[in-house]
Amino acid sequence: MESDHSGSGDDDCSTATDEAVRQRAVALVQRILDRAYEDETELYAHLDWLEQALRCRYVSDLIFWPDVPPSAEDVVRQALSFGPAIPRPRGCPTDHTNTRR
């Protein structure tokens, strides 16, 4: 069964949501670049959100270990260009890379 999206606004909503996520990601990356976070816990929360929203496990590398100093826009654009991360196999333990030890 095919769905008819003409006039439904579904694509516009998705595009608006994607743009809102991208803008929030840019703002969070800028906060990280400016070191405008309270502590490591807040930093890790920002990084976790960025990894989930951008579907890029390497976002921290793009921020902290770039080839050249990045802008927040550059980081988000590069993260989005990687495409979706490979899903974790069922039963594989959660990655706690950004979890406080």
Maximal CA-CA distance, the chain? 51
- pLDDT over 50 at 95, yes or no: yes
How confident is the prediction for the chain on average, in pLDDT? 80
Considering the chain, what percentage of its residues have pLDDT values greater than 70?
66
**pTM, rounded to two decimals:** 0.68
pLDDT, tens only, 44-64: 999 999 999 999 988 999 999
What Cα–Cα distance (Å) separates residue 86 from each residue in 23, 71, 80? 24, 26, 14
